């Protein structure tokens, strides 16, 4: 990821992708199971469906509990905003109309396998990062860049773990 000089109000994004030698349907089953993510993520520790939901569908909500060395621990409520099996699964953190972030997986067949992309957008609503930006407004571009780099590193690790998990069972 290269320096962009973006600020939080730019709603910056980052994406990573990986080729997995596994059919899209198997990749889909993996990424649409929110309970797998805490086993892969360095920050996300626990998730649970809310409101009696048993799985993903547009409008379904889930809670996430997160921990970060610099940001502390926090809980979020996310709403599924895209659910298009076996292609796209996305959720908005906080208010789905004005989220603090959006996260998305995209599954695309390629050859005998699948390209899996993980993407995220910061903002537009304030997030935990907003506190750091408020405390050090002259460092906003660096704060945003460092957090996007952390997201990129985490998503790269997520996709590598998913690839290992799915290719191992072949």
Global pTM value:
0.93
Structural domains of the chain sorted by starting position, each given as residue range(s) with its CATH number in brackets: 8-168 (3.30.530.20)
Q: What is the mean pLDDT of residues 144-156?
A: 94
- Dist. CA 11–CA 98, nearest whole Å: 11
Mean pLDDT of the residues in the chain: 93
Asked whether the beta carbons of 135 and 129 are under 8 A apart, the reply is no
Work out the average pLDDT over 85-90. Answer: 97
- With 90 as the cut, is the pLDDT of residue 24 above it? yes
Which pLDDT does position 170 carry in this prediction?
58
Q: Specify the pLDDT at position 74.
A: 86
pLDDT of residue 1: 64
Q: What is the mean pLDDT of residues 131-153?
A: 93
Percent of the chain with pLDDT over 90: 81
Residue that is written with structure tokens 């799985």 in the block = 55
pLDDT tier at 4, thresholds 50, 70, 90:
confident
Beta carbons of 89 and 56 less than 8 angstroms apart: yes
């Amino acid at each position: 990821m290269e320096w962009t000089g973006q600020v939080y109000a730019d709603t910056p994004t980052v994406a990573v992708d990986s080729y997995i030698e596994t059919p899209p349907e198997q990749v889909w089953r993996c990424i649409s199971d929110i309970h797998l993510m805490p086993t892969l993520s360095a920050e996300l520790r626990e998730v649970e469906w809310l409101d009696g939901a048993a799985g993903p569908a547009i409008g379904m909500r889930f809670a996430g509990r997160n921990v970060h060395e610099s940001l502390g621990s926090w809980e979020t409520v996310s709403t599924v905003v895209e659910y298009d099996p076996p292609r796209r699964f996305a959720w908005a953190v906080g208010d789905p109309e004005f989220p603090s972030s959006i996260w998305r997986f995209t599954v695309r067949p390629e050859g005998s396998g699948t390209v899996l992309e993980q993407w995220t957008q910061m903002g537009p609503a304030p997030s935990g990062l907003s506190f750091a930006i408020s405390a050090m407004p002259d460092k906003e571009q660096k704060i945003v860049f460092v957090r996007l780099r952390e997201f990129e590193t985490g998503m790269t690790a997520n996709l590598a773990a998913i690839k290992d998990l799915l290719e191992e069972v072949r």
